[in-house]
Structure 1
Amino acid sequence: MGRLGIFGGTFDPVHHGHLIIAEAFREHLQLSAVLFLPAHTPPHKQGRPITPLQHRLAMLQLALLDEPAFAISYVDAQRAGPSYTADSLALLRQQYPEDELYFLMGQDSLAGLPTWHEPQRVAEQAFLAVAMRPGVSVDLDALYQAVPAARGRVILVSVPLIQIASSDIRQRVAEGRSIRYFVPPAVEAYIVHHGLYRTAANEQQSVAHPDVVSLPHV
């Protein structure tokens, strides 16, 4: 039996903060691997502009190219509808029936867990590995009352405080500022080559470029 970390997100774009936090979780929890789970249609971002999935996947593939302990799960990318965590974990349970799943999240996300789609199913299917953040606290007793299945399944993990956000990177590109050291060099080159994030219109672009990777069949 292995331990798999599940790192969900939009990854628009993936940046060094994602990689540092994923590695901190992997080391602390002794995970055999971390699966990055890019959302096809993030339910909490419906109605907001989001970069087409092909681009987000391509950048993620470039960022993880030389990371043997990191991989991409395409269970959300290959299905329509909102990317609910409960449904994603159910699919991953089918793919990895012998492994323990650890869903990686922040304290702010844990606090909002009762408002998620079927939070009971989320807690039943995976341990909740939570990155501790300064200034953010969670009333675990209240959480357990709202989501009883979470009791005994929350693991608090101390991770480095990384002040990098994908929204800040998009804003920097739109303003013509440097994103060097914010993202892996290959990701920066991809953003420049495809003209991503230069204006709001870029974020709503839906036509894939010929050299954008296609979705693999798994």
Structure 2
Amino acid sequence: MAKKIGLYFGTFNPIHIGHLIIANHLVEFSDLDEVWFVVTPHNPHKKKKTLLEDHHRLAMVRIALENYPKLHASNVEFDLPQPNYTVNTLAYLEEKYPKNNFGLIMGEDNLKSFHKWKNFDVILDRHSIYVYPRISEGTVETKFDNHEKIKTVNAPIIELSSTFIRKGIKSGKNIKPMLSAEVWQYLDEMNFYK
């Protein structure tokens, strides 16, 4: 039986409760059967000293999702040629899992620039896009209004970012409630972001 799988792309540096709330909401209150957290690999051509190594970010995602049977960690992009584009990842997944239907999960802030993505029209032709609300400036491209492949999901608005968490850790703030207990323990033991 074909499964509907939502792909939630991100660096997850680190994964936080906002990510979990949105993914869990989508899998429980939309037609998605599962959500896969696709951990974006470090771009070797970009120096980002705040970005943890790929395997650490993947480990944290796996730890965070242990108690959520409908949520899964994916390192599918780690082995794809870099720089990689979402359209390539989707083509690879379609070939590898032909029985599954893959959709994209994105915040409405990302939908605003979606028309600039490589082969966005191909993505939209072949895949649904699940859009969750964000507090943001400006308006979404009107060409996407009432588009049959774009599904707006009334998920909770979470204004929590990995950047905020990293800055909080660096300045010695208690950010423990923003992460799952297991992810916090992993970060703390590894002395990450300090």
| Length-normalised TM-score, structure 1 | 0.80
Q: Which amino acid aligns with 2:174?
A: S
Tell me the secondary structure at the aligned position of residue 34 of structure 1: strand
Cα offsets for 1:70-124 (capped at 9, x unmatched): 1122210223412311111111111221222120001111110122222123223
User: In the TM superposition, what is the alpha-carbon distance from 1:182 to its structure 2 partner?
Assistant: 0.4
User: In the TM superposition, what is the alpha-carbon distance from 1:152 to its structure 2 partner?
Assistant: 2.1
> Structure 1 regions of 5+ residues with no counterpart?
145-149, 199-218
Tell me the secondary structure at the aligned position of residue 102 of structure 2: strand
Partner of 2:33: 32
Q: Which amino acid aligns with 1:197?
A: Y
Q: Work out the CA distance in 2 between the residues paired with 1:157 and 1:21.
A: 10
Partner of 1:52: 53
Summarize the Cα distance change of 1:56–1:135 in structure 2 as closer, same or farther, 3 Å threshold.
closer
Cα offsets for 1:9-54 (capped at 9, x unmatched): 11000000000000111122232111110001369x9343321101
Q: Is the 8 A contact 1:40 1:83 kept in 2?
A: no
Q: Is the 8 A contact 2:6 2:36 kept in 1?
A: yes
Name the Cα RMSD after superposition. Answer: 2.1
Tell me the secondary structure at the aligned position of residue 104 of structure 2: strand
Q: Which amino acid aligns with 1:170?
A: R
Q: Work out the CA distance in 2 between the residues paired with 1:121 and 1:31.
A: 21
Q: Work out the CA distance in 2 between the residues paired with 1:187 and 1:174.
A: 16
Segments ≥4 residues shifted beyond 4 Å? none
Q: Which amino acid aligns with 1:126?
A: H
Partner of 1:66: 67
Q: Does 1:118 align with 2:119?
A: yes
Partner of 1:2: 3
Partner of residue 153 from structure 1, selected from 149, 152, 177: 149
Q: Work out the CA distance in 1 between the residues paired with 2:135 and 2:192.
A: 32
Q: Does 1:131 align with 2:132?
A: yes
Q: Work out the CA distance in 1 between the residues paired with 2:154 and 2:24.
A: 12
Q: Work out the CA distance in 1 between the residues paired with 2:102 and 2:43.
A: 21
Tell me the secondary structure at the aligned position of residue 78 of structure 2: coil
Q: Which amino acid aligns with 1:105?
A: M
Partner of residue 181 from structure 2, selected from 185, 204, 209: 185
Tell me the secondary structure at the aligned position of residue 158 of structure 1: coil
| Length-normalised TM-score, structure 2 | 0.90
Q: Work out the CA distance in 2 between the residues paired with 1:180 and 1:126.
A: 36
Aligned residue pairs: how many? 191
Q: Which amino acid aligns with 2:3?
A: G
Summarize the Cα distance change of 1:114–1:52 in structure 2 as closer, same or farther, 3 Å threshold.
same
Q: Does 1:14 align with 2:2?
A: no
Q: Work out the CA distance in 2 between the residues paired with 1:55 and 1:178.
A: 21
Q: Which amino acid aligns with 1:140?
A: T
Q: Is the 8 A contact 1:40 1:82 kept in 2?
A: no
Q: Work out the CA distance in 1 between the residues paired with 2:131 and 2:171.
A: 33
Q: Work out the CA distance in 2 between the residues paired with 1:25 and 1:194.
A: 31
